């Protein structure tokens, strides 16, 4: 099951039945709060709309292609076959995009989008898919799951929720967590955030299955490199306490609305400068802590 695309709170967005879920912490929202509490508020509490970049949409597309690739029989998971999946995956994705997002491609739907723009963008996605094949041979792998939704409750009651790009489990039971990175931001900026996300998943899997994942693997498709890390139980125990502390800090800020800005070079990637006091803006009136769900994560969050 894929993570949902975000629903923007604009009048143009189709009305969706309200899904009442218990508040949970996701790696993206936890990272937001760590980076800047005000950014967390804008995303999780105010739910201000954000327009994705072409790079984010490309990441979503490439994740979808790799998920479809692993749904094929092993012998069919070849480079050419993967490239053939791009156009159908784009058709599916474009149906889910809001008209204003399609403006990135010079139209308001897939029919009237600028074909030259779309073709160039699809070629750039095709390069990332090709880069994936430089890193491993999917015909030799049989993952247990792709786009795996995971959720667990810690002893303290904190609910953790997220989506894992791919889970490999060896016949011996050893677990490898794999995440594809396709973002345009410099790798060094995203690396700490990526490792935070991977440790988050490691904690969830450890608590769900009682096994510490043997390896966390980040596959950087923009530069064709992979980074691996082997967590240990003591580290995950410490990390679990970190997550609990983040959630307590979020709840405390949520009660009062005291979410402070924390400017950094990452502000360059923030969609909300117009509402941020650090950039001369004013946040909207605090709407109160959202019940029940303040931790939703979308496919775009993960397409970095």
Is there binding between residue 116 and ligand SF4 (CB under 6 A)? no
Is there binding between residue 261 and ligand SF4 (CB under 6 A)? yes
- Contact letters (x/-) for ligand SF4, 218-257, by CB under 6 A? ----------------------------------------
| Spatial separation of the C-alpha atoms in residues 89 and 83, rounded to whole Å | 10
Is there binding between residue 45 and ligand SF4 (CB under 6 A)? no
* Whole-Å CA distances, 254 to 39, 44, 270, 273, 294: 13, 10, 21, 21, 10
Q: How many residues bind ligand SF4 (CB under 6 A)?
A: 14
For β-strands 159-169 and 175-181, DSSP reports them as antiparallel
126 vs 290, which CB is nearer to ligand SF4? 290
| Spatial separation of the C-alpha atoms in residues 119 and 152, rounded to whole Å | 41
DSSP 8-state secondary structure symbol assigned to residue 185: S
Is there binding between residue 263 and ligand SF4 (CB under 6 A)? yes
Near ligand SF4 by CB under 6 A: residue from 267, 289, 290, 293: 267
Is there binding between residue 44 and ligand SF4 (CB under 6 A)? no
38 vs 204, which CB is nearer to ligand SF4? 38
Is there binding between residue 270 and ligand SF4 (CB under 6 A)? yes
Residue 177, strand partner residues: 167, 216
Near ligand SF4 by CB under 6 A: residue from 24, 38, 175, 246: 38
Q: Which two tokens stand for residue 299?
A: 């496919």
Tell me which residues in 278-297 interact with ligand SF4 (CB under 6 A).
Answer: 278-279
Residue 178, strand partner residues: 166, 217
Tell me which residues in 8-27 interact with ligand SF4 (CB under 6 A).
Answer: none
Near ligand SF4 by CB under 6 A: residue from 272, 302, 303, 304: 272
Contact 70, 138 (CB under 8 A): yes
Question: Which residues, other chains included, contact 75 with Cβ-Cβ below 8 Å and sequence gap of 6+?
Answer: 139
| Spatial separation of the C-alpha atoms in residues 297 and 61, rounded to whole Å | 17
Nearest to 121 by CA among 59, 77, 67, 186: 59
- HSE-CB at 239 with a 13 A cutoff on CA atoms is 22
Near ligand SF4 by CB under 6 A: residue from 76, 245, 273, 287: 273
Which residues sit at the interface with ligand SF4, rule CB under 6 A?
36, 38-39, 261-263, 266-267, 270, 272-273, 276, 278-279
């Amino acid at each position: 099951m894929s993570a949902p695309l975000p629903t923007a709170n604009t009048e143009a967005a189709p009305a969706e039945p309200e899904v009442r879920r218990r508040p949970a912490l996701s790696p993206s929202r936890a990272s937001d709060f760590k980076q800047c509490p005000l950014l967390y508020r804008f995303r999780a509490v105010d739910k201000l709309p954000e327009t994705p970049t072409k790079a984010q949409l490309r990441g979503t597309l490439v994740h979808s292609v790799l998920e479809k690739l692993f749904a094929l029989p092993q012998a069919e998971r070849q480079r050419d076959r993967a490239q053939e999946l791009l156009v159908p995956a784009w058709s599916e994705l474009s149906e889910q995009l809001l008209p204003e997002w399609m403006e990135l491609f010079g139209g308001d739907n897939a029919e009237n989008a600028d074909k030259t723009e779309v073709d160039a963008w699809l070629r750039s996605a095709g390069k990332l898919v090709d880069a994936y094949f430089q890193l491993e041979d999917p015909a030799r792998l049989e993952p247990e799951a792709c786009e795996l939704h995971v959720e667990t409750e810690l002893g303290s009651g904190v609910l953790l929720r997220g989506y894992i790009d791919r889970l490999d489990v060896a016949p011996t039971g050893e677990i490898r967590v794999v995440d594809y990175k396709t973002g345009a931001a410099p790798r060094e900026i995203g690396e700490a955030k990526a490792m935070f996300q991977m440790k988050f998943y490691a904690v969830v899997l450890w608590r769900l299955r009682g096994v510490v994942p043997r390896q966390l693997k980040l596959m950087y498709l923009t530069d064709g490199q992979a980074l691996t890390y082997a967590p240990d139980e003591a580290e995950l125990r410490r990390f679990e306490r970190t997550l609990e502390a983040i959630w307590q800090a979020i709840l405390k800020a949520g009660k009062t609305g005291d979410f402070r800005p924390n400017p950094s070079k990452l502000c360059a990637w923030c969609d909300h400068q117009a509402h941020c006091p650090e950039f001369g803006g004013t946040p909207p009136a605090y709407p109160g802590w959202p019940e029940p769900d303040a931790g939703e994560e979308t496919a775009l969050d993960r397409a970095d």
